[in-house]
Amino acid sequence: MAFPGPGWWPLAYLGVALLFLALRRDRAGWNALVGLVWGLAFFGPLITWADEAVGKVPWLALTLAEAGFVALFAAAWTWARRGEAVWRSATLQVAVFGILWTALEELRQVFPFGGFPWGRLAFSQADAPIGALMSLGGTALTTFAVVACGAMLARAVVAARRVRVVPTFAWLGAVLALMWIGLVVPLASGAETGTLRVGLVQGNVPGQGLDAFGDVPRQVLANHAGGTAALLDQVGPGALDLVVWPENATDIDPQVDAQAAAVIDSAAHAVAAPLLVGTVQYPDGGGRYNTSVLWEPGQGVVASYTKQRPAAFAEYIPMRGVARLFSDAVDRVTRDMLPGTEPGYVPLAAPRLERTVGLGDVICFEVAYDDVVRSAVTSGGEVLIVQTNNATFGFSDESTQQLAMSRLRAIEHGRATVQVSTVGVSGVIAPNGALLAATGLFTAEQLVATLPLRESLTLATRLGPWPARVTAALAVCVVVAGAAGALRVRRNDRIEIAA
């Protein structure tokens, strides 16, 4: 419930507190079972959009797989707290609980099959003051803070139950202080290297689900061309520096198909501006690429970016023969998507600014991956562009969950960000994460925005993967130390956690 929708972010702390209290027994197997149940209750409702997209069996399989990480966390927590220092210190318990959870989230981001980062607790905090911590330590620090709030809330419950007044209020005070710490974190949002005038086109599609595009890809292309012409109701020709189309705006490769190329070039000429177009490419050796191309009117493609992290079991099928045993929907993916190898940097010639502007481009689920977004910024991106196609997920919460991630990425890297979807929700986001404008879902709409360009790097961007690496190393250390401590000291199956 902390995630969109409804996005009641304080409930993230309560959910973690309840898990902390539920893991009271000193039995790894029992706690793993508790963690598994908690994970099923969390991930199942969170990703119901997977059911919308590919059916119940894949949705349940993904839910079970992700819940398994919570079970692993619960077992690791049981071993880690057996270390003498952690067992006797409530403060260390809070820290270790947060370290282990954050480390398991980092593992989920990369394993298996490239990882599935959806549901990281930081992504529930787009509207919360604690979300400002993204600019200091990225997702790892923000998640740690959320878990620490929950663990301290649980400690307050334990202290209250034992009628310990001072510790109860001390823990509650610490929770409140950490919840609102983001209010003192400065988030810059002004332009440093000028502004970029951008038009966003959400063209809409004929249907929903796996058949959203039906057999009419040219209609989808025409919708986006028509939406580009509709921008002229808000601005004159030549007033925009760039027009952005979403992922899959044309599933017909304009570099191969002359008719598609003519439609795109005509739209670019109409607004007298380059278009950033989501499309596909089919190499001769098989497979396909999910690509974004920069189209200059009269010239065609002058730059491109290819998606680096195709989604397993959606855009490509690992172990196809095994996966088919669970769902024949895998055969709808007839050509596996191939990964790109270059960062999401697209150079845009901006005559009005008399220079080249760096666009940081990521495609769809890539916004959930720390390294993909970071490399787009460190490669020279002065703004972030998230091109996505949410048509597959119907009227689910997937699109608003993704928009929350885009807002947090804006904070993390101090970049103005736009999310552009085929069907919505599209949005314009300030560098401090504020949502300035948004579209509806399954509508044809256009937005015009002036985006501040920025080159400075936040602390989170400069630190890069190090907060996650340090957390992972600490997690291994505390589990090993706890296991070693358990071998030296025999303990009863204690029901209550230590004071």
Global confidence as pTM: 0.93
167 and 204 fall within a common domain: no
Does residue 221 share a domain with residue 113?
A: no
Statement: residue 50 has pLDDT above 80: yes
What is the count of structural domains for the chain? 2
Tell me the per-residue pLDDT of 431-449, one tens digit each, with 9 for 90 and over: 999 999 999 999 999 999 9
Please check whether residue 406 lies inside any domain of the structure.
yes
Please determine, for residue 229, whether its predicted confidence score (pLDDT) is greater than 80.
yes
Q: Both 450 and 475 in a single domain?
A: no
Residue 497 maps to a domain: no
What pLDDT is stored for residue 496 in this prediction? 46
Residue 6 lies in a domain: no
The residue ranges of DSSP E strands in 330-432, in sequence order, are 345-350, 355-363, 383-388, 417-421, 427-429
Average pLDDT over residues 95-124: 94
Q: Do residue 437 and residue 484 come from a single domain?
A: no
Q: Does the pLDDT value for residue 227 go beyond 70?
A: yes
Q: Kindly give, in sequence order, each residue whose CB lies less than 8 Å from that of residue 294, ignoring residues fewer than 6 positions away.
A: 274, 275, 276, 277, 301, 302, 303, 304, 346, 348, 359
| pLDDT for residue 209 | 54
User: Is the per-residue pLDDT at 331 higher than 90?
Assistant: no
Residue 411 lies in a domain: yes
Q: Which of 40-49, 143-152, 320-329, 458-467 has the lowest mean pLDDT?
A: 320-329
Looking at the predicted structure, is the pLDDT value of residue 421 above 80? yes
Q: How far apart are CA 86 and CA 65, in angstroms?
A: 29
* pLDDT tops 90 at residue 361: yes
**Which residue would you say has higher pLDDT here, 41 or 286?**
41
CB contact burial 247-278 (16+ within 10 A = b; e otherwise) = bbbbbbbbeebeebbebbbebbebbebbbbbb
25 inside domain:
yes
Tell me which of 307, 315, 398, 445 is the catalytic residue: 307
The continuous run of DSSP H or E covering 300 comes out as strand 300-306
Domain membership flag for residue 19: yes
SS3 372: helix
Q: Which of 299, 298, 281 is nearest to 290 (CA)?
A: 281
Q: What is the pLDDT of residue 484?
A: 84
Same domain, 160 and 112: yes
Over the range 450-479, which residues count as b (16 or more CB within 10 Å of their CB) and which as e? ebbbbeebbebbebbeebbebbbebbeebb
Tell me, yes or no, whether 387 and 330 share the same domain: yes
Reported confidence tier of residue 18, pLDDT bands at 50, 70, 90: very high
Angle between helices 28-46 and 11-22 (to 10 degrees): 160
Same domain, 243 and 180: no
Share the mean pLDDT of the chain: 92
In whole angstroms, give the CA distance from residue 177 to residue 483: 33
pLDDT band at 48 (very low <50, low <70, confident <90, very high): very high
Residue 336, pLDDT above cutoff 90: no
Note whether 328 and 291 are same-domain residues.
yes
- Position 55 in a domain: yes
- Average pLDDT estimate for 6-16: 96
Q: How confident is the model at residue 320 (pLDDT cuts 50, 70, 90)?
A: low
Residues contacting residue 339 through CB under 8 Å, at least 6 positions apart: 306, 307, 308, 309, 310
Mean pLDDT, residues 255-270: 96
Q: Does a structural domain hold residue 493?
A: no
Reported as a pLDDT band with limits 50, 70 and 90, residue 408 is very high
Q: Which of 247, 366, 398, 412 is catalytic?
A: 247
Q: Is 307 a catalytic residue?
A: yes
Same domain, 278 and 245: yes
d(CA 307, CA 279): 11
56 is catalytic: no
CATH number, domain at 434? 3.60.110.10
Q: Say if CB 121 and CB 147 are below 8 A apart.
A: yes
Rounded distance, CA 413 to CA 417, Å? 10
Burial of 25 per CB tally in 10 Å (0-12, 13-18, 19+): middle
Q: Is 4 a residue whose pLDDT tops 80?
A: yes
Q: What is the pLDDT of residues 156-212, one digit of tens each?
A: 999 999 999 999 999 999 999 999 999 999 998 899 999 999 999 999 998 665 555
Residue 494, pLDDT above cutoff 90:
no
pLDDT of residue 499: 45
Catalytic residue among 52, 105, 315, 364: 364
Instruction: Please choose, from the candidates 435, 459, 457, 438, the residue with its C-alpha nearest in 3D space to the C-alpha of residue 447.
Output: 438
- Between 155-159, 244-248, 255-259, 390-394, the lowest mean confidence (pLDDT) is in 390-394
The DSSP H or E segment spanning 70 is: helix 56-80
Mean pLDDT of 378-404: 95
Q: Residue 332 sits in which domain range?
A: 195-455
pLDDT tens digit sequence for 122-132: 999 999 999 99
* pLDDT over 50 (residue 378): yes
pLDDT band at 311 (very low <50, low <70, confident <90, very high): confident
Reduce the DSSP state of residue 153 to 3 states and report it: helix
**Is 342 labeled as catalytic in the residue annotation?**
no
How confident is residue 313, by pLDDT bands cut at 50, 70 and 90? confident
- What gap in Å lies between CA 270 and CA 267, rounded to an integer? 5
**pLDDT above 90 (res 483):** no
- Asked if 100 and 211 sit in the same domain, the reply is no
Give the tokens for residue 270.
């109409």
Q: Are 313 and 294 in contact (CB under 8 A)?
A: no
* Cβ atoms of residues 220 and 175 within 8 Å: no
Verify that 123 and 153 share a domain, yes or no.
yes
Same domain, 218 and 115: no
Q: What's the pLDDT at 158?
A: 94
pLDDT at 154 over 90: yes
